[in-house]
Amino acid sequence: MARRKNENSEGPTYFTTFQVAKFLGVSPPTVVNWVNSGLVMAHRTPGGHRRLRACDVVAFARAYNYPVPPALLVPEPSPATAPTAARRVLIVDDDRDFAQTVADYLELKGGFEVEIADSGFAAGLTLARFRPSVVLMDILMPDMDGFEVLRMLRRDAALGATPVIACTAYRDASIEDRVKNEGFDGYIEKPIKFERLLDIVEESVRGGA
């Protein structure tokens, strides 16, 4: 789904990193690396998400001999995946590039409204303001780990029932057992399988996790 600068204007059309990756036939982390290297310009939304202007992507594609798909030349926003208040995901992860890639995927494929918190402390502030439908929680973070954030969330009368999905790159049986014992609503390992992630998030939103 293309994102316009202003719904009521004819301003430039923006795309997520995930969309650009799909258009050019590369992985989302490759697009993130291009942005970080200054090869293509990206803008930040108030929520911290990267957005790339169609004209910048087209210029990059032509300069580096990538085929330019029609979707970049004549983007057509699709209202079918417009997010609703009941479809909000908070990603809590100190790996900003990973979190951004997941956010772009969930926005594009699931029509979710997504925000990112890069620490346990930031998660506490965002939870109260954003009131997500589901939380995707990294387990090991430097300031406050995912278990501490989960306990904080469960103590909140208004947010305590929010589904929380644990996410970690550590394949450790003791961590997996602790995830189950401490009351997470699901568990997924990194590297993420995106289709599986979407299934888990959809199920959690429906209350089936």
Q: Note down pLDDT in tens along the chain; length 209 residues.
A: 444 443 344 556 888 999 999 999 999 999 999 988 888 888 877 667 888 888 889 889 988 889 988 877 754 444 444 444 478 999 999 998 999 999 999 998 898 999 999 888 888 888 888 899 999 999 888 778 899 999 989 988 888 899 999 998 877 777 778 888 888 998 898 888 999 999 999 999 887 44
Instruction: Show Cβ contacts of residue 207 under 8 Å, excluding neighbours closer than 6 positions.
Output: 163
The side-by-side arrangement of strands in the sheet containing 13-15 is: 3-4, 13-15, 50-53, 43-44
124, 173: one domain? yes
Whole domain around residue 28: which residue ranges?
3-77
Domain boundary pick from 15, 42, 77: 77
Instruction: Kindly state whether residues 84 and 180 are assigned to the same domain.
Output: yes
Q: Structure pTM? A: 0.66
Calpha distance 26→20 (Å, rounded): 8
Q: Let me know whether 173 and 97 are in one domain.
A: yes
Q: What is the C-alpha to C-alpha distance for residues 103 and 111, in angstroms, rounded to an integer?
A: 10
In 3D, which of 100, 92, 153, 88 has the Cα closest to residue 117? 92
Say yes or no: 127 and 38 in one domain: no
Cis status of the peptide bond prior to 191, with omega within 30 of 0: yes
